[in-house]
Chains A and B, each alone.
Chain A
Amino acid sequence: MDHKTSFFKKADIVLAIALLLLGLGSFLLLQNLQKAGDTVTVTVDGSLYGTYPLAEDRTEQIVTPLGSNTLRIEGGRVWISEADCPNHDCVEKGAIAKQGQIILCLPHKLSVTITEQEGGGPDAVSY
């Protein structure tokens, strides 16, 4: 046994490539498996602010105690077009369109997710 003489062996590289391919494969698979979702769910400070159908184009002004954001739904995509938060991360995040995707505005404690009408995501996930 010479398993301590070297840090890596040739077989390790093969293993690493196999694992990377598994990762790439699962990533591509997930891209296709992602459900479209049909509802835009907005929460402020953890509680529900409102839900809007993804299929309906609209502009919604979301006023939170900490500031306001302008939510734009158009063509099955949703994004924050304007916000008076200091960092504008939510605006720069761009548009989301698939279930489970999320836009966060941490300064305003605002989250925008895409969900399914009847289901709703997990309340809490603990690891």
Chain B
Amino acid sequence: MRSLTSGPARAAACGVLTALALIFSYIEFLVPLPIAIPGIKLGLANIVVLVCLYLLGEKYAFFINCTRIALAALLFGSLFSALYALAGGIVSFAAMALLKKTGIFSVCGVSMAGGVFHNLAQRTVAAFLVETAQVYYYFPVLLLSGMATGIGIGVLATLILRSLGQNKTS
């Protein structure tokens, strides 16, 4: 990944990664999980965000994440889905970036926390929008599902980072 040091190369990488993240969002939109509880999803796009976080740094990962969410909302979402996605995206990103900075957690650990904070933020937005604490009833379930999917996504991101050979260059 030495080639990603130049500006144009980074810009190109950002474009490709944003497109990839958008495709993952679209796949999840097309194929919802057969689970009755709203809010449980895999978070495939987070693979891209994680890989980018470790390869290119916070700034680029944040940019890619926000662009992905905005484009997804424009293409196949709604104003409400954008609000939920943005809250989940930004809060989970902040949690992941902070945990990554400490340097003591693995990619899986960072991703796990990202999954949990994503769900936590979405619940909080839902609570404000519908003005009831009722939406928190599922939170323990969503916390566990966020951990599980976060770990799964983290394992995938670890494998990708390994095969990109980041070990040798960093």
| Residues of A participating in the B interface, judged by any CB pair closer than 8 Å | 1, 3-9, 11-12, 15-16, 19-20, 22-24, 26-27, 30, 33-34, 99-100, 119, 121-122, 125-127
Main secondary structure of the interface of B (DSSP, over half): helix
Q: List 13 A-B contacts (CB under 8 A).
A: A3-B107, A6-B106, A11-B106, A12-B105, A19-B147, A20-B147, A23-B140, A23-B143, A30-B136, A125-B38, A125-B126, A126-B78, A127-B126
What is the minimal beta-carbon distance from B102 to any residue of chain A, in angstroms?
Answer: 8
Q: In the bound complex, what is the Cα–Cα distance between A25 and B127 (angstroms)?
A: 18
Contact A5 B167 (CB under 8 A): yes
**Residues of A with C-beta under 8 A to B105:** 9, 11-12, 15
What is the minimal beta-carbon distance from A122 to any residue of chain B, in angstroms?
Answer: 4
Main secondary structure of the interface of A (DSSP, over half): loop
Q: Which of B130, B144, B158, B170 contacts A1 (CB 8 A)?
A: B170
Q: In the bound complex, what is the Cα–Cα distance between A16 and B155 (angstroms)?
A: 15
5 additional contacts (CB under 8 A) given A15-B99, A20-B147: A3-B103, A9-B106, A26-B140, A30-B133, A125-B130
Q: In the bound complex, what is the Cα–Cα distance between A8 and B112 (angstroms)?
A: 11
Q: In the bound complex, what is the Cα–Cα distance between A22 and B143 (angstroms)?
A: 9
Contact A99 B134 (CB under 8 A): yes
- Interface residues contributed by chain B, number (CB under 8 Å): 41
Contact mask for chain B residues 35-61; partner A; CB cutoff 8 A; 1 contact, 0 none = 000110000000000000010000000
**Residues of A with C-beta under 8 A to B137:** 30, 34, 100
B84 in contact (CB, < 8 A): yes
Q: In the bound complex, what is the Cα–Cα distance between A30 and B99 (angstroms)?
A: 27
Identify the interface centre among B106, B108, B140: most chain A CB within 10 Å of its CB. B106
Contact mask for chain B residues 136-167; partner A; CB cutoff 8 A; 1 contact, 0 none = 11011001100100000011001001100011
